[in-house]
Amino acid sequence: MIKILIVDDEKPICDLIDMNLSAAGYHCRTVQDGLKAIDLIEAENFDLILLDIMLPGADGYDIMEYIRPMKIPVIFITAKHEVKDRVKGLKLGAEDYLVKPFDVVELIARVEVVLRRYNKTDSILSAGDVVVDVDARTVTKAGKQIILTNKEYGLLVLFLRNKNIALFRENLYERVWGDEYLADSRTLDLHVQRLRRKMGWEENLVAVYKVGYRLEI
C-alpha cells in the first residue's frame, strides 16, 4: 500500500487530508512538527510527503533540503501563495505546490499524478468483488471478466481511486473526456448508468445532489 506522510502544524488540516486519502486507499502518517517529521522520515519509508512550509522546529524548506538526497517526492501544501514562494519550493525539488485553502478532490488528483510519475501507484484496485488490474487493463467481477468502453473504464478507475469521496461532475468529465463540461450534457450520466449496471453497483454508485457521484464502499 502507498504510504504518505502529512506534515502540517494544523491538526485539523492533517486530519482532513488523512481522512480523505485513507478513504482513497492510501496509508497515512501525520505530524505537526518539522523536527519530528525528519525523525519519522529517517525511521520509516514513505512514497510521498505532503509538506507545509511554516512549521515549528524546522520549516518546510529546511526539511526539503534535508531529504533531497532521499529522492522522496514532495508536494508543498501551504498558505504562502506568492510567486517567489512557489518558485523557491519548486527549485528546491518539490514535484508540486498547492495553496491553501484547497479542494480535496484536486489534492487527490495531484497526489495521483506525482505517484504515477514515480511509478508508485497501486496496480491492483478493488471494491468488493470488483478487481481492476491497471497494468493489464482488465476488469473482473466475482472472477468473471467485464468488458467496458474506454470512458467506462476511466470512470471506474477514478471511482476506485476516490472511494467514499463525492466527485464533481465537472472533474469527472474533464478527467475522463479531457474536455470542458457542458451543464446540459447527459453523456456523463449515461456512462455512469451503464457502469452501475455492469458492476452491479445500483446501491453503491450514488448521485450526490448538486455535486456529482460517489462510490460508497
Q: Which of 23-27, 85-89, 155-159, 173-177 has the highest mean pLDDT?
A: 155-159
Q: Who has greater pLDDT, 193 or 89?
A: 193
Binned at pLDDT 50, 70 and 90, residue 74 comes out as very high
Does 195 lie in the same domain as 152? yes
**What's the confidence (pLDDT) of residue 91?**
87
CA nearest neighbour of 179 among 205, 208, 210, 151: 151
Question: Residue 86 belongs to a domain with what CATH number?
Answer: 3.40.50.2300
CB atoms within 10 A of CB 79: 12
Does 35 lie in the same domain as 90? yes
- CB contact at 8 A, 58 and 34: yes
Average pLDDT for residues 100-104, to the nearest whole number? 86
Does 146 lie in the same domain as 84? no
| pTM score | 0.67
Q: End of a domain among 117, 139, 161? A: 117
Spell out the alpha helix ranges (H) of the chain: 11-23, 34-43, 60-67, 83-91, 104-117, 150-161, 169-177, 187-199
Binned at pLDDT 50, 70 and 90, residue 203 comes out as very high
Rounded CA-CA distance 43/33 in Å is 15
Q: End of a domain among 117, 148, 163? A: 117
Does 131 lie in the same domain as 152? yes
Residue numbers of the domain that contains 182: 125-215
- For CA atoms 14, 30, 72, 136, give the dihedral sign: negative
Does 63 lie in the same domain as 20? yes
Number of domains making up the chain: 2
**What's the confidence (pLDDT) of residue 84?**
85
Question: Residue 133 belongs to a domain with what CATH number?
Answer: 1.10.10.10
Does 108 lie in the same domain as 9? yes
Does 106 lie in the same domain as 29? yes
Q: What's the mean pLDDT when you consider all of the chain?
A: 89
Does 12 lie in the same domain as 113? yes
Rounded CA-CA distance 211/46 in Å is 33
Helix 187-199 to helix 150-161 angle (10° resolution) is: 70
- Could you tell me the three cell numbers for 128? 468488493
Rounded CA-CA distance 212/29 in Å is 30
Rounded CA-CA distance 212/216 in Å is 13
**What's the confidence (pLDDT) of residue 73?**
95
Does 15 lie in the same domain as 107? yes
Burial of 137 (0-12, 13-18, 19+ CB in 10 A): exposed
With a pLDDT cut of 90, the percent of the chain lying above it is 54
Rounded CA-CA distance 52/202 in Å is 40
**What's the confidence (pLDDT) of residue 21?**
87
The pLDDT tens digits for 79-93 are: 887 888 888 888 888
Does 138 lie in the same domain as 75? no
Spell out the alpha helix ranges (H) of 72-149: 83-91, 104-117
Q: End of a domain among 59, 90, 117? A: 117
Least confident interval from 9-18, 86-95, 118-127, 204-213: 118-127
Give the three-state DSSP class for 3: strand
Does the pLDDT of residue 153 top 80, yes or no?
yes
Does 42 lie in the same domain as 110? yes
C-alpha distance across the termini of the chain, in Å: 18
**What's the confidence (pLDDT) of residue 88?**
87
